[in-house]
Amino acid sequence: MAEALALAERGLYTTTPNPRVGALVVRDGVVVGRGFHERAGGAHAEIAALVDAGARARGATVYVTLEPCSHHGRTPPCTHALAAAGVARVVAAMADPNPLARHGAERLRAAGIAVDLGLMESEARELNIGFVSRLDRGRPWVRLKIAATLDGRTALAGGESQWITGAAAREDGHRWRARACAILTGIGTVKDDDPRLTVRAVATPRQPLKVLVDSKLEALPGAKLFESGRTLVAAAVADREKIARLAERGAEVLVLPNAAGKVDLVALMGELAKRELNEIHVEAGTKLNGSLVAAGVVDELLVYLAPSLVGDSGRGMFNLSAPASLDARTRLSLREVTRVGEDVRIIARLAS
């Protein structure tokens, strides 16, 4: 199963909106077939592994990182192919959260195939944490990336931030961009930095959707954000003239106001889930970072800390209201602390 999970990781940047899945066909203790799901519409991992195994699949055990599908989607059901190949047993890491596909184990057992679920389940869920989040919770997994000094400053008072962290950390950040379905930022960052929001430091076969939170539609059509790829602008006002100008640049505008005249961030995440986006990578400023956390839509922090100090005049990580007491503070659970070049990468999750 560990090898199947390693195969699944080969689809890390390509499978969206589908899950990342790997499969092995094993007969008499020998791997006779390997496969992974590469992209939506392409062969599922089980099919690729069965093709690789050929006639040797009969009587074999199939290890797969996700319960085989039992429905007609972009491709035929994997359960049919497994039964037709004559496999004796299927070991799946986790049940499929998709209600259309979660009867795979039941269908396989009905066909006389032994099925076991749960081997290395936590690892499989981590690999597809966004897919699971979208199916189980109706919203994507939101990962908020921050580059800061050791005293928690993300920029100078005037907004200068390039570059706080070193080249290795910036390249690592692009890997996290590449695995996401969308990169989200705010109008403040666009005004300060005029970012492209593309994956450049690592090779990738696709560019994530760009999402701009711009309540008043202040973005200029000439911003680099609109130069390439797809961009979705979330606004709180339905200004037809501004919307038309952005449409000329290929952007789509989604109007989602809340009672305060800002973008309804919870509703935005629901809309992104409807568009089958699994993981959202946030690179924003202090205000939007704080608003996202306050709205309860951030799941994970990806923080790069540089060995430097800026002082109290610099910009912080989050614009958040002070808690009434320490017990009311936002709590995190540390998942990882790693040295990346000259900087430190911290992955922490918000307590659910």
CB 189 within 8 A of CB 183: no
CA gap 35, 46 in Å, rounded: 7
Neighbours of 13 (CB within 10 A): 21
Q: Catalytic: 248?
A: no
CA distance 25 to 204: 29
Beta bridge partners of 334: 348
Taking Cα atoms as reference points, which of 77, 76, 49 lies closest to residue 63? 49
Q: CB under 8 Å to 272, separation ≥6 — which residues?
A: 139, 140, 182, 211, 280
Instruction: Pull the structure tokens for residue 232.
Output: 């979705």
- In the chain, the amino acid numbered 103 is H
- Name the catalytic one among 38, 46, 279, 300: 46
How many whole angstroms separate alpha carbon 56 and alpha carbon 88? 12
Looking at the chain, list the stretches that DSSP marks H as alpha helix, in order from N- to C-terminal side.
Answer: 2-8, 45-53, 78-85, 104-110, 121-127, 129-137, 167-179, 187-193, 240-248, 265-274, 286-294
**Nearby residues of 235 by Cβ (< 8 Å), 6 or more positions away:** 214, 215, 216, 217, 243, 253, 254, 255, 256, 263
Catalytically annotated residues? 46
